[in-house]
Amino acid sequence: MDPFSLISGGLGLIGGIFGGIQAAKKRKQQEQLLNQEQSENTAWYNANALSDYTQRADAQNLIKNMRENLARRDMENANMSVVSGSTPEQQAAAKEQTNQIVSNVYGNLGAMGQQWKDQITNQYLGRKYSLGNQRFGLLNDQAQSYENLMNNGLGTMTSSIKSLAS
């Protein structure tokens, strides 16, 4: 028996085991980070896509401005009605115009909300697919590591058998 071959084989085995343990730890860390990112992505999606768009600051500002403008407009119309002696039909027409403005603003808000939710969904899906690709890469790396471990083990075994045979 060649003592150098035994020592070399033993060191190779120890190095392989140490490397395998360290690689497993790093993969576990990667897996934890991917799980955390996935949870954060889902929470972000739920907070944004499932929320009421009309409660966003921009939508609230739009509604506030509309109300202020309509209140001012209604006051002007009421004053004009008193001065000009408008008919009830004219007053009803003015109120109908106000209702149409409110309807249009809320319709536009609904469309804006749907665009917002579509954008959020697209971002969520993009991140989800990216995380899936990262997971696939991690699994592929793990499979490659096992193949390398198998090949190294077979190589060490073959070398040891040759060394013992000679």
Question: What tens digit of pLDDT does each residue of 96-117 get?
Answer: 998 999 999 999 998 998 999 9
19: which 2 tokens?
């490397």
pLDDT above 80: residue 166? no
Regarding predicted confidence, which is higher, 160 or 23? 23
* Diameter over CA atoms, the chain: 121
pLDDT above 70: residue 6? no
On whether the CB atoms of residues 54 and 60 are closer than 8 A, the answer is yes
Average pLDDT over residues 81-100: 85
pLDDT above 90: residue 126? yes
pLDDT above 60: residue 1? no
Question: For the chain, what are the domain ranges?
Answer: 3-165
Average pLDDT over residues 28-50: 90
41: which 2 tokens?
């992505």
Residue 56: pLDDT band (50, 70, 90) is confident
Regarding predicted confidence, which is higher, 25 or 131? 131
Instruction: Please name which of 8, 4, 15 lies closest in space to residue 148, comparing C-alpha atoms.
Output: 15
